[in-house]
Amino acid sequence: MLYSSVTDAIGRTPLVELQHIRAANGPAIYAKCEHLNPGGSVKDRIAKAIVERAEKEGLIEAGSTLIEATAGNTGIGLALMCAQRGYKLVCVMPEKMAEDKRQALRALGAEVIITDNAPPGDPRNFQERARQISEERPNTFWTNQFANEANPNVHYETTGPEIWEALDGQVGAFLAGVGTGGTISGVGRFLKSKNPQTQIILADPVGSRLTALINEGELGEDGAYLVEGIGSSQVPQVFTPDILDRAISISDQDSFAMATRLIQEEGLLVGPSSGTIVAAALQYAEQTTVDAPIVALLPDSWDRYWSKTLDPEYMAQLEQSTD
């Protein structure tokens, strides 16, 4: 296939049936391979949508600087767009994010600012700092993935239809995590519009407050977890919880172990959040009476995690600390 730009290759990712990670008597589990986007994650979709919408509305122009609060993936997607369009990029990241992501962003020409792991509302929080920078610097545009409606809309318009068409409308359940909530909200809204019986299920790290919100109606206890990019202590603005049917909580250890299985048994080169989502999908497949296939979204590539959760020494230290 011929493209005029690498960003034209965003989307239309494969849907791959898992051959070894499956329930003995449950439905097939398919992986939506968003790690195969050009920038290595599902966030390429929203980066493209946010930039194109801002251009259309005249919010950015030649020489503009884009500002984003990111765990890394949206920043990388935006960096691809900026490279193609000639914009500058500032990425504000929490301290806990892997060094691999920082290096990737710098290699792509972004300015990277690291903040404390501060809670929402604290001036040191990465989202608050991004907003502050956008107000302080001239000719900037705060892309604001957590509140930008282009985020869920692009998943309603592209990711959801891709899944529906690939499986000829036979989708028993869809599982994803929540970082901004745009993916699960957009895909969930599309799949529910086609078949209200399709189950939309949150895969959430233990320690995130969102599992209790979905299952019990109010935010749960806040806790620490090591999986990056998913889970939250608050409800993101573009997230629509009422479209979800259930949440399944997965520990760091089970997330990392499943990521290793996806790499070694399925040849899917993904990160720990994919482990969270597939572990939840497997648990659901073992319990459900649904016959139609289950779809688990794989958010990003393994190359963001070599210095942490894919490093045997790091994982050995983690296991010792939790014994």
> Which pLDDT score, from 0 to 100, does residue 307 have?
79
Q: With the C-alpha atoms ordered 54, 39, 94, 248, is the resulting torsion angle positive or negative?
A: positive
Q: With the C-alpha atoms ordered 74, 243, 194, 172, is the resulting torsion angle positive or negative?
A: positive
- Residue 164 within any structural domain of the chain: yes
- Residue 208 within any structural domain of the chain: yes
> Which pLDDT score, from 0 to 100, does residue 300 have?
97
Three-class DSSP category at 205:
strand
Judge contact between 163 and 191, C-beta under 8 A.
Answer: yes
188 and 129 belong to one structural domain: no
126 and 268 belong to one structural domain: no
**Is-catalytic flag, 43?**
yes
Question: Which residues, 6 or more positions from 264, have their beta carbon under 8 angstroms from its beta carbon?
Answer: none
Domain that holds residue 194: 6-36+159-318
Q: Max Cα separation, the chain?
A: 59
Count the Cβ atoms, other than its own, within 10 Å of residue 243.
Answer: 17
> Which pLDDT score, from 0 to 100, does residue 309 have?
64
The domain spanning residue 311 has which CATH number?
A: 3.40.50.1100
Count of the separate structural domains present in the chain: 2
Q: Provide the pairing of β-strand 29-33 with 294-298.
A: parallel
The catalytic residue among 32, 43, 48, 101 is 43
| pLDDT (tens place) for every residue of the chain, 323 residues total | 899 999 999 999 999 999 999 999 999 999 999 999 999 999 999 999 999 999 999 999 989 999 999 989 999 999 999 999 999 999 999 998 888 889 999 999 999 999 998 988 899 999 999 999 999 999 999 999 999 999 999 999 999 999 999 999 999 999 999 999 999 999 999 999 999 999 999 999 999 999 999 999 999 999 999 999 999 999 999 999 999 999 999 999 999 999 999 999 999 999 999 999 999 999 999 999 999 999 999 999 999 888 766 677 766 766 666 55
Judge contact between 110 and 90, C-beta under 8 A.
Answer: yes
Q: How far apart are CA 184 and CA 181, in angstroms?
A: 6
125 and 266 belong to one structural domain: no
> Which pLDDT score, from 0 to 100, does residue 142 have?
97
> Which pLDDT score, from 0 to 100, does residue 60 have?
96
Q: Is the pTM higher than 0.85?
A: yes
- Residue 149 within any structural domain of the chain: no
138 and 209 belong to one structural domain: no
87 and 169 belong to one structural domain: no
Q: Among 249, 301, 252, 259, which residue's Cα sits nearest to residue 280?
A: 249
Judge contact between 100 and 307, C-beta under 8 A.
Answer: yes
> Which pLDDT score, from 0 to 100, does residue 321 have?
60
32 and 95 belong to one structural domain: no
Judge contact between 204 and 233, C-beta under 8 A.
Answer: no
Q: Among 276, 284, 265, which residue's Cα sits nearest to residue 300?
A: 276
Q: In the sheet where 15-17 sits, what is the strand order?
A: 15-17, 29-33, 294-298, 173-176, 199-205, 246-250
> Which pLDDT score, from 0 to 100, does residue 322 have?
58
280 and 169 belong to one structural domain: yes
Q: What tokens does 236 get?
A: 């993101």
> Which pLDDT score, from 0 to 100, does residue 310 have?
65
> Which pLDDT score, from 0 to 100, does residue 56 have?
97
Judge contact between 89 and 68, C-beta under 8 A.
Answer: yes
Judge contact between 15 and 166, C-beta under 8 A.
Answer: yes
Question: Which residues, 6 or more positions from 204, have their beta carbon under 8 angstroms from its beta carbon?
Answer: 177, 178, 210, 211, 230, 231, 247, 248, 249, 250, 276, 280
> Which pLDDT score, from 0 to 100, does residue 168 have?
98
Q: Could you list the beta-strand ranges (E) of the chain.
A: 15-17, 29-33, 65-69, 88-94, 111-115, 140-142, 173-176, 199-205, 246-250, 294-298
Q: Which residue, 142, 168, 184, sits at the end of a domain? A: 142
